[in-house]
Amino acid sequence: MMRARMALLAAALLLSACKEGKAPESEVPVDGPSTDPVSPTDILGDAHGTPRPEELVAAPAPVTGSAVVVGLEAGARGLASVAQVDVDLTVSGVRGRGTVEVEFVPPSGLPYERRSTVVEAEPAMSRTLRFSLPVAGTTVATSGMSGTWQARFFLDGAPLTTAAFTLEP
């Protein structure tokens, strides 16, 4: 109860300090020196509007990736005839060093296998990495994990791209 009264008194004190109907008083004298507005070019470059050298540097290219399933022929898509599925990832725009991860996801939607590797490149370079999913003699074949799979790729934990492939029974 005491706090409520204190809050009410504080609010009343603040309200009484307000001047109703009057504009706020200016701290700059009315007769003081006047200044012209500064042109935007004055702060972005020199007096003639020429950009500074750091403004001429292009923004780095974004990291991009594309994945292609290789090694799966039209007639060899059955679990009994596929030794492995290879997926090539081409990544560009990497600045220095990064960790590329692939997650192979079967039709059930639950991740089956995850692998990673380190990639080093300059931003203007592209790198192609191959990731393989063994099929013959693994749980994929013995458990009959047929259907559409996904290979999901990540760079330093951020999603990069996805490729899909189908394994037939």
Kindly write down the DSSP assignment for every residue of 49-103, as one continuous string: -PBPHHHHSPPPPPPEEEEEEES--TT--BTTT-SEEEEEEEEE---EEEEEEEE
Residue type, 50: T
Does 108 fall in a domain?
A: yes
Task: Tell me how many domains the chain contains.
Answer: 1
69 sits in the region (left: phi over 0; alpha: psi -120 to 50; else beta) called beta
Going by C-beta distance under 8 Å and a sequence separation of 6 or more, which residues neighbour residue 66?
89, 90, 161
Asked if the structure places residue 88 within a domain, the reply is: yes
* Residue 9 placed within a domain: no
Structure tokens at 39: 């042109």
Confidence (pLDDT) at 51: 57
- Domain containing 158: what range? 64-167
Tens of each residue's pLDDT in the chain, 169 residues: 556 665 656 655 555 555 555 554 545 555 555 556 544 544 445 555 555 555 556 666 789 999 999 977 656 678 888 999 999 999 999 988 999 999 999 999 999 999 999 999 888 899 999 999 999 999 999 999 999 999 999 999 999 999 999 999 9
- Say whether 117 sits in a helix, a strand or coil: strand
Q: Considering the domain boundaries, does residue 14 fall inside one? A: no
Does residue 54 belong to any structural domain of this protein?
Answer: no
- Distances in Å between the Cα of 65 and the Cα atoms of 86, 148, 155 are 16, 21, 9
What SS3 class is residue 141? helix
- Any domain includes 101: yes
Per-residue pLDDT tens over the stretch 13-34: 555 555 555 554 545 555 555 5
Q: Return the CATH number at 90.
A: 2.60.40.1930
Q: Is residue 69 part of a domain?
A: yes
Opening angle at CA 113, ends 109 and 114, nearest 5:
110
As a whole number of angstroms, the longest Cα–Cα distance in the chain is: 93
Upper half-sphere CA count for residue 21 (Cβ side, 13 Å): 0
> What backbone torsions phi and psi does residue 24 show, to the nearest 5 degrees?
-60, 145
Would you say residue 89 lies in a domain? yes
